[in-house]
Structure 1
Amino acid sequence: MAVTHADLEPNSGTTVLRSKIGTLLMVLLTILLGLFCFILCLIAEVKRSKVTWMNIGENEKGGSSECVYNGSGKMPLLCATCAFVALAIVKIVEHTCLLIAVSKSSPVLLNLDPDSASVKSLTFQAGFFYTTAWICFAVAEILLLLGVLVESGHLKNWSMPRKSCLIIREGIFSSAGVFAVITVFLASGLCLTTLHAQRISQDLENVQRDSSVIHVSNPTWLQQQHIATVTKENLATTRGTL
């Protein structure tokens, strides 16, 4: 039995299966990190620092006001910091998925017709997921960073009255959590889109490989059949002459 070039190549089915499993694991990791980030944002929203204003030194000309924090802000600061790091890890996982997809993509994708409906749809999906994921990621990280900066400003002497107190407005941490969840689902969609592109490239590569095998093997088979037919005719002619 002859050994062909396709027999010497690595098993494409195993490669595709490993790629699918790796992508699905990355998607699962991003979803878990997103839920973790959202929970941390909700905790930070509930535990965020609040202030109490007090009127002091009342006289004929009026009085002055001072504010006092209700806590040191360590809990919301810790939650916001962990959420910030978790969301950054989500973005790293997303780009890792993209790098793996690009490194394993087949050159066959470069020969596709850019005007075809499937290519346009795939390109639009990838561009939409990538752009909107970056926008939501930037908004969430800015809100979390703002919360970290504000909550870290009164870690010491938080119980002392002050002339001014800086606090995070209600809903900032919750908004950051919502944008973080949106970022996670967009990143997951981008990873699944890259997996779909890998499957398309693998299918096209298999089709081209099968076509090349048919074009290469059939002429040889026809030539052998022609030689066998000619040989039989020559033998029959020789026997008839004898």
Structure 2
Amino acid sequence: MAVTHADLAPSTKNSDLGSKTGAFLMVLSILLGLFCFILCLIAEATRSEVTWDKGKGIESQCKYSGSGKLPLLSSSGAFLALAMAMIVQHAYILIAVSKSDSLAEIGWDADSAFAKTLSWQAGFFFVATWVSFAVGEILLLIGLSVESGHLKNWSTPRPSCLIIPQGLFTSAGVSGLATVFLASGLYITVLRAETYFQERENTRREILEASVMYASPLTSPAERFNMRTVPNENPSSPRQDQNFHTLYHYLRAFDKNSSLV
């Protein structure tokens, strides 16, 4: 069975950016972001509202429309799903980048326009991801604190009621979606950078191997095929052997002529 170059190439590790594990984790984080968005929509639709009772001679009192358990559970699930998506994406990217030798060249190749572009893109995606994540989690924490404040005696009238403004959970869900997609953009940018530097390193290695091969001295075809080795002698050419035999025959003929005289 013939051995190809692909067989000799190193296999892709699970910690590499272009591995199947990386693609699976990115898809998983996006699904977690979608799950977070759906839970935020449920929390928005079931959030507690307030009704006011205005009686004569008494102060106005408010009552909650529900206990807030369902929006509390939905927002809690959305908070955890977004946190898990962020941890999965960034933990994997950090591990893959720390083990990549190709990405280490970005710091040594500061004059490259392509390296500068990738660095700016990666920096933008990194900062934008964390800002979006922070906004989404803060909004969810606000919703959690408000909805957990009237779990008991929610139907009892009270002089003041604290409620969540309309659209808060929806904004948190949109921030969660933006977080996972921005993190995916960061992953794609880092993967492009690694692929670029790997291709450049492979090209450099091929050029170096070709230069070493062609730099070695080569013998001419005449020297390869006209030279032969005689036992216990130095290599000699056929022309030298022909002269030697000619001189030998000449001496034999001279000995014959001398004996006749």
For normalisation by structure 2, the TM-score amounts to 0.78
Q: Which shifted more, 202-211 or 41-50?
A: 202-211
Structure 2, unaligned stretches of length 5 or more?
228-235, 245-261
- Corresponding position: 1:135 with 2:137: no
Q: Does the aligned pair in 1 maintain the 2:90–2:183 contact within 8 Å?
A: no
Q: For residues 155 and 213 of structure 2, what CA distance do their matches in structure 1 show?
A: 86
> Aligned partners of 1:65, 1:110: CA distance in 2, in Å?
66
Tell me: CA distance 1:44–1:111, structure 2 relative to 1, closer, same or farther (3 Å).
closer
Which is greater in Rg? 2
The answer to whether the Cα contact below 8 Å between 2:82 and 2:176 also exists between their aligned partners in 1 is yes
For residue 88 of structure 1, report the CA deviation from its aligned partner: 0.7
| Superposed displacement of residue 231, structure 1 | 8.1
Letter in 1 for 2:80: V
Instruction: Name the Cα RMSD after superposition.
Output: 2.7
Name which of 149, 163, 166 aligns with 1:167: 163
Structure that is richer in helix per residue: 1
Query: What code does the residue aligned with 1:120 have?
Result: K
Correspondence 1:74 to 2:69:
yes
Q: Confirm or deny: 8 A CA contact 1:23 1:195 kept in the other structure.
A: no
- Flag the 1:227–1:100 CA change in 2: closer, same or farther, 3 A: farther
Gaps of 5+ in 1: 1-6
% identical equivalent positions: 47
Q: Does 1:99 align with 2:94?
A: yes
State the secondary structure of the residue aligned to 1:167: coil
Does the CA-based 8 Å contact 1:133-1:187 persist in structure 2?
Answer: yes
Q: Count matched residues.
A: 229
Mapped partners of 2:37, 2:25: distance in 1:
18
Task: Provide Cα deviations, 1:38-92, integer angstroms capped at 9, x if missing partner.
Answer: 1111100000001111124x33xxx301111111101101111111111111111
| Correspondence list, 1:1-242, <5 A | 11-12=9-10, 14-15=12-13, 19-56=18-55, 58-59=56-57, 63-107=58-102, 109-110=105-106, 113-220=109-216, 222-223=217-218, 225=219, 229=223, 232=226, 234-239=236-241, 241-242=243-244
Report if the CA contact (8 A) 2:64-2:161 is conserved.
yes
Q: Whose RCO is larger (CA < 8 A, sep 6+)?
A: 1
Q: Per-residue deviation at 1:163?
A: 1.3
